[in-house]
Amino acid sequence: MTQVPSPPGGRHDPCPFPADCARKFAPIRPIASGGYGAVFLAEQIDLGRQVAVKLLLVDLLEEPEQVQRFNQEARITASLSHPNIIQIIDHGAQHGIPWIAYELISGQSLRDLIDTGTLTFDRSVEAAIQVADALEAAHSSGVLHRDIKPDNVLEAEPGRYKVMDFGIAKWTQGGAVRTRAGMILGTPAYVSPEQVTGDAASASSDVYALGVMLFELVTGQLPFQAENPVLLLECHIKARVPSARKPRPELPASIDRVIARALAKSTRDRYPSARAMRDDLDLILRARTASAVRERGPGVRRAPPTVQLTAVSARQRAGAGGDTAACAGPARGRLYRGAVLGLVVALGAVAALLSSRHDGAPEPAASAGRRTPAGPEASEDPAAVASAGRFHAVHAEACALLARGDETGALQRGRLCLELALPSGAGSPGLRLSLPLLELLAKHCQGKADPDRHPPGSASPAAHD
C-alpha cells in the first residue's frame, strides 16, 4: 500500500509537507494519489493563492531512479514556457522528500470530458491542436513527453487546454534517467510501435500518442482494443489503423487522413513534426467554418456544424472483457495528405488567375459550371487519383506557408494548386481550395492593376519567420 509522505522525525504534525515546502505552502486537502505521487490542494502563503503541490510517495523514496525521475520532472517542466503547458511555481527536496508546486488548474481532464460525452468534434480537434502546439514547444526545447493521453491534458478554462505530467519525460540529449532493459515507459494504449519493438522514443512517438488520443477524442473509443496489455502492444505493431468514421459516420473524411498519418507504423511515414499535424488539423477546422459560411451565404456567419459525441463506458474504452476483438477493424478507402478543403473554384476565375503565369502556356479548356465531387475518391482513373493526391499535398503546403505569413511561397503553390484543380479530361476530379488561399489569389489579381501594391513575387514585411 502506498503512503503519503509525512514529516521526518516521528512528529505527529498533521502537515504532510516537508519543512522547506511547509514554509511556503499550507496544505488544504489531498486531491489525488497514484502509484508515483500524491497531489494536494494548497495555499501559497505569501501570495494567498491556491496551488497544487505534488509529493513523491514514501514507498518510492528508497528507489534512487524514482527520486531522480521526480526531480527531473521539475527541471523539465520548469524549462518549458508555453500557454498550453502547465506552469511550475516552486520545487524542493529537503528532508529527502521531493516536492513540486504547480499552478492550480480546476478544470476537467480530457478523460473526464470523453467519459461524460460533452466534447463536440470541433472542441476535440481544437484540443488536439493545442496539445500539438505544446508538443512542438517541448520538442523544440529538446524534451519528449512520452505519456500523452487524455488523462494528462486539463481544460484550464473553456476552450484552452494544458499538457501536464512530465513524470516520464526525457531530454533528447543528455541528463536522461536510465531505463532498465526491456522496460517500456508509457501507457500501453498510447505507446508507439517503435517503443514496443525496443527502439528509443522520439518526437515521432509523441505524435503517434497524439494520433491515438485524437481518435479517442472524436470517437469516444481507442483505435486499438485488446483483452490484455500484451495483445494491445501487438496491435500497435501489426493492426491496420481503423477508420474513425466506422463508429462515427458523421465525421469528415479528412480526420481519417490525419489519424492514419499520425498512426503510421513507420516513423518515416508519420508526420515529421507535431506542427505539421497541427497544421492539417487547423485546415480541417478552417474548412468546416468556410463550409458553414458558404451554406448560409457570404453575409452571414455562424459556428461550424456540430458533431456531438456520446459517452463510452470505461469497459468499452479499455477493450476489456472476454468478447472484445483483438484489435479494431482495418481502415477503408484511400488515404491522402491534407484535409477536406473549403470552397469550389469558379472555373472562370481560375482562368483569369492562371493568365498571369510566367510561362505563358495556354490554359486547358473547361466547361463552365462543371462541378465534380471533392477529393480523390471521385475518380477511379489512376492518373486522376495521382493528380488529386498531388493537389492535396501542394495545397497543405500553401496553407501552411500562408499561416506563417509567407504570401510569396503561398502564392506560388496556390497557382500550382489551380493548375492541378483544372479538369484536363473526363476523369479528372474537381478539387477545392481553402478560403484564405482563394482570397490571397484574388488579392494578387486585383493588385496587378494597382501600381502601389507589392509587385508579384515580392514578400510582405512579415513574409518569413
Question: Catalytic positions, please?
Answer: 147
Measured CA to CA, the distance from residue 150 to residue 126 in angstroms comes to 13
Kind of pairing, strands 170-171 and 143-144? Answer: antiparallel
Exposed (0-12), middle (13-18) or buried (19+): which is 303, by Cβ within 10 Å? Answer: exposed
How far is 192 from 213, CA to CA, in rounded Å?
12
Q: Are 109 and 150 in contact (CB under 8 A)?
A: yes
The residue among 423, 448, 401, 269 whose CA lies nearest residue 347 is 423
| Rounded-to-integer distance, Cα 338 and Cα 413, Å | 14
Q: Return d(Cα 375, Cα 387) in angstroms, integer.
A: 10
Task: Please give the single-letter amino acid code of residue 137.
Answer: A
Q: How many CA atoms lie within 13 A of 10 on its CB side?
A: 0
> Is 402 within 8 Å of 439 (Cβ atoms)?
no
At which residue does the C-alpha cell 500500500 appear?
1
Q: One-letter amino acid identity for 360?
A: G
Non-local CB neighbours of 303 within 8 Å, separated by 6+ positions: 122, 292
